[in-house]
Amino acid sequence: MPAIAAALVTVLGLGGCAVGPDTGPQVVHGGGGGGEQPSSSAAPTGLPPIQAPRNDLDWTDCAPQTATRWGVDRPDGVTVQCADLTVPVNPYRPTGDTLTVGLTRAQVATTPDDAVPVVLTSGSDLPSSRTLLMLAAGPGRALLDQHPVVAIDRRGAPTSGELDCMTREERAAMRSNGLAGDADATQQQRIDRLAGSASSAAGGCTETLEPHQLDFGEAFAAADIEALRIRWGVDQLALAGVGEGSDVVLAYAGNFSGRAGRIILDTPTPFGANARDRAATRATGVQAALRTFVQQCSTAGSCPLGADGTATIADVLAKGRAGRLGGLSDTEALSAITTAVALAPDRPAATTETAAAIAAADRGDIGALTTLADRAAALRLTDGQLVARCNDVSGPVGQNEVPGLIDAWSKQNPLTGADTALSLMRCNAWASSTPVNPPSALPVDPLVLDGANDPINGGGGAQALGGLFIRAGTTPTTVSWGGLGYSVLARSACAADIVTQYLGDEPLGEPTDRGCPS
């Protein structure tokens, strides 16, 4: 049996317990339809039945540890519990190798004991357990009154068999997008340095993980969710994917037909799009989110960014690019800002605090911004996340194309364009994995929460899914939200109420286009 990193895999004999794609029960669309139903009783409307677990996991309290791990306050009045789930490393070609996936559950005193859980994933954007804590501490907590939410961290994350396959120098190059403290580096030198480090990292991770180096993509994240369904002993799951987690949910719907009893796509990314198109969408959307952040700061009064907040941010990024930000690169500064804005608590003071860190850095005091940059790297740039993203890359961009993209995108999006184009090199020389096919049909009409100002992925992903929904013969209900931050569900009690309705036995019905106040 091939060896794999000891921190990642425990070798067990699985026998006939492997998990793989199956046909599931006959597909039933949300508007009705016939076909044989699963053994449990379905709702009169024909909606797929969703149930509480028949065989639950061994949950233990982990609120203090989880809050400490992610550097946030423990949500008041919320019970936070953790459990582990052992899954095959490759359920599609079982070898007997396994890994442990981390699960985190949040509920409140009023959550019914027999309530159907919502399985939450934020994919490779952020640890799902961190996204869950944001939901539990914000307006989205209203969902917990009726349903527990179970976050499943993507394999390779710090709580799910953490990967350690890159060198310190490779991580530094990824974190700075090739700048690595060299103030005199030309754009081409930066591209070459990043591409070289990425190629070296790809080789090192492949050697460490072989033969499982391609077993961390969306299809395998979906298989981990299927392993949870089997462990629970239920026919269908209620799934919520935030950001890139929406790709995982759609991969699950495609690979495990009929098992997705409810499909919630929260500020989705463009499933199946190639690397260039995904990056272009992200650059434009994150630029828009930063403009909204500046506007919110200016309307709050006494904004630390001054009269032209966008210019202040641009000045900080320019100093980072020129090596005049105390060793903090432009990439690190931008990641610090976008992550802080994405995860800011639901209070006006949080906007001012982030703005103050930016303004201080502009004056030469980088302490607060460096702390935010370190936090952002821990949340968004671990070895496991990079491996997962590289596993998912479709249509990689050649190194010779990057200078042209930097020029074009930085003109369109001055704050985000160049950095987004450079980031395309992080998966240089990584082997290509088989793309996940979009679902040809869906067992239920999805609920799409469309956030306009997501500082992690930007908006626009929901619109890009129109063709997928048409081909799948489904009509989603779309809820638009114009606020600022990552995850509409976490930040909108209105959205949480609609999600609660969607989890019931009756279809949402008209209108299919709705809005929630920001």
Q: What is the pLDDT of residues 458-473, one digit of tens each?
A: 988 899 999 999 999 9
Q: For residue 96, what pLDDT band results from cuts at 50, 70 and 90?
A: confident
Residue 134 CB coordination number (10 Å): 27
Rounded-to-integer distance, Cα 188 and Cα 438, Å: 37
Distance of alpha carbon 98 from alpha carbon 11, whole angstroms: 6
DSSP characters over 309-351: HHHHHHHHHHHHHTT-STT--HHHHHHHHHHHHHH--SSHHHH
CA distances to 14, 96, 120, 168, 237 from 232, in Å = 18, 21, 15, 40, 10
Question: Which percentage of the chain shows pLDDT scores above 70?
Answer: 91
pLDDT band with cut points at 50, 70 and 90 for residue 6: very low
Write down the pLDDT at residue 19.
Answer: 38
Non-local CB neighbours of 34 within 8 Å, separated by 6+ positions: 28, 46
Convert the pLDDT of each residue in 362-388 to its tens digit: 999 999 999 999 999 999 999 999 999
Tell me the sheet residues that pair with 150.
105, 119
Tell me what percent of the chain is helix, strand and coil, each rounded to the nearest 5: 45, 15, 45
Please give the structure tokens belonging to residue 9: 């895999």
Q: Which residue has the tokens 């999006």?
A: 413
How far apart CA 356 and CA 368 sit, in angstroms, is 9
- Contact at 8 Å (CB) between 440 and 469? no
d(CA 195, CA 399): 7
Q: What is the pLDDT of residue 433?
A: 82
Query: Which residue in 229, 196, 281, 274 sits closest to 91, CA to CA?
Result: 229
Q: Is the pLDDT of residue 18 over 50?
A: no
Q: Which CATH architecture has domain 43-160+217-272+438-516?
A: 3-Layer(aba) Sandwich (3.40)
pLDDT grade for 218, boundaries at 50, 70 and 90? very high
Q: Does pLDDT of 8 surpass 70?
A: no
Q: Summarize pLDDT for 302-335 with one digit per residue, the tens.
A: 899 999 999 999 999 999 999 999 999 999 999 9
> How large is the average pLDDT for residues 189-213?
95
How do residues 30-62 score in pLDDT, each as one tens digit? 222 223 333 333 333 578 999 999 999 999 999
pLDDT of residue 180: 74
Joined together, the tokens standing for residue 444 give 């239920």
Provide mean pLDDT across the span 112-134: 97
| Euclidean distance between CA atoms 357 and 336, whole angstroms | 10
Structure tokens, 291: 């403009």
Instruction: For residue 193, give both structure tokens.
Output: 């340095």
Tokens 């233990």 sit on residue:
60
Nearest in space to 420 (alpha carbons), one of 408, 432, 435, 433: 408
Of residues 125, 234, 214, the one with CA closest to residue 435: 214
Can you give the pLDDT at residue 432?
A: 80
Q: From 494, 488, 500, 485, select the one nearest 517 (Cα to Cα).
A: 494
Give me the chain's average pLDDT, please: 90
pLDDT in tens, 151-170: 999 999 999 989 999 999 99
* Predicted local distance difference test score (pLDDT) of residue 341: 97
Q: Tell which residue, 286, 338, 325, 287, has the closest CA to residue 179.
A: 325
pLDDT at 349: 85
Q: Region 62-75: what's the mean pLDDT?
A: 95
Please say if the pLDDT value at position 243 is more than 90.
yes
Extract the tokens encoding 452.
Answer: 């306009």
Residue 477's contacts (CB-CB under 8 Å, 6 or more residues apart) are 445, 446, 447, 448, 498, 502, 508, 511, 512, 513, 514
The mean pLDDT of 230-239, rounded to a whole number, is: 97
Q: pLDDT by residue (tens digit) across 248-270?
A: 999 999 999 889 999 999 999 99
Handedness of CA 50, 501, 145, 69 (dihedral sign): positive
CATH 3.40.50.1820-classified regions of the chain: 43-160+217-272+438-516
Q: Is the peptide bond between 511 and the residue preceding it cis, with omega within 30 degrees of 0? A: yes
| pLDDT number for residue 362 | 97
Q: What is the pLDDT of residues 336-369, one digit of tens each?
A: 999 999 999 877 788 999 999 999 999 999 999 9
Per-residue confidence (pLDDT) for residue 28, from 0 to 100: 27
Only one residue has tokens 């100093």, namely 319
DSSP labels for 352-390? HHHHHHHHHHHTT--HHHHHHHHHHHHHH--HHHHHHHH
**Pair 488, 481: CB distance under 8 Å:** yes
The residues pairing with 88 across neighbouring beta strands, listed in sequence order, are 98
182: confidence class by pLDDT, cuts 50, 70, 90: low
- Could you give the CA distance from residue 156 to residue 102 in angstroms, rounded to a whole number? 10
Q: Does residue 27 surpass a pLDDT of 90?
A: no
- In three-state form (DSSP H/G/I as H, E/B as E, the rest C), the secondary structure along 181-194 is CCCCCCHHHHHHHH
Report phi then psi at 511, rounded to 5: -80, 155
> Both ends of the chain: CA-CA distance in Å?
54
* C-alpha pair distances (Å), 148 with each of 119, 151, 346, 456: 9, 10, 21, 25
> What local confidence, expressed as pLDDT, does residue 13 receive?
30
Residue 211 has pLDDT above 70, yes or no: yes
